[in-house]
Amino acid sequence: MEDLSLSTLIWLRMARFVQNSNQLSNEHLRQFGLTVAQFEALAHIRNFEPITQSALAEGLTVSGGGISRMLARLETEGLISRKQDWKTKHISLTDKGRELLERAFPSQLEQQSSLFDDALTDDEKVHLHALMKKLYDTSRERGASTRE
């Protein structure tokens, strides 16, 4: 295998961290009967409800088909409601969905925060946050320029 640049090694490490973090989150969220994707969908719905199905898919970067299957399951479980308004579906949390998210959210935040709190000093977290924001902003700018 050829020598990899430091930038490539950083990207690989970040990808592996996210994959591992998602695996830990899936294990953690199992106690609430949720996956990471479902948790993120419920949290996004709560923040923007009522939200259209297309806006939710865009906010979660999920395909239209993928979001339809996930929403069908969440609706079957009584966690969301979908109301058709002509051609647009508006999605909201049900009382059951809101209650589940109110229990799962603080627990999930604590689980994820502990990954950083256990490994990094406060100064390291501040520095990492600034670096990740810089990378995120650059990636968003690049994405916007390719869509134009």
pLDDT per residue as tens, the chain (148 positions): 578 899 999 999 999 999 999 999 999 999 999 999 999 999 999 999 999 988 998 888 777 777 888 899 999 999 999 988 888 889 999 999 999 999 999 999 999 999 999 999 999 999 999 999 999 999 888 877 766 6
Find the farthest-apart pair of alpha carbons in the chain and give their distance in angstroms, rounded: 56
Q: Residue 68: phi, psi to the nearest 5?
A: -60, -45
Q: Looking up tokens 């970040």, which residue turns up?
A: 14
Give pLDDT, residue 132: 94
Give pLDDT, residue 147: 61
How many Cα atoms within 13 Å fall on the side-chain side of residue 114? Answer: 9
Contacts (Cβ under 8 Å, ≥6 apart) of 111: 24, 25, 28
Distance CA 22, CA 11 (A): 16
Q: Sheet containing 51-52: give its strands across.
A: 51-52, 88-93, 80-85
Contact in structure between 61 and 75 (CB atoms under 8 Å): no
Cβ atoms within 10 Å of 93's Cβ, excluding its own: 21
Give pLDDT, residue 146: 67
Contact in structure between 80 and 97 (CB atoms under 8 Å): yes
Q: Residue 73: phi, psi to the nearest 5?
A: -65, -45
Domains of the chain plus CATH, in order, are 6-117 (1.10.10.10)
Give pLDDT, residue 1: 53
How many Cα atoms within 13 Å fall on the side-chain side of residue 70? Answer: 21
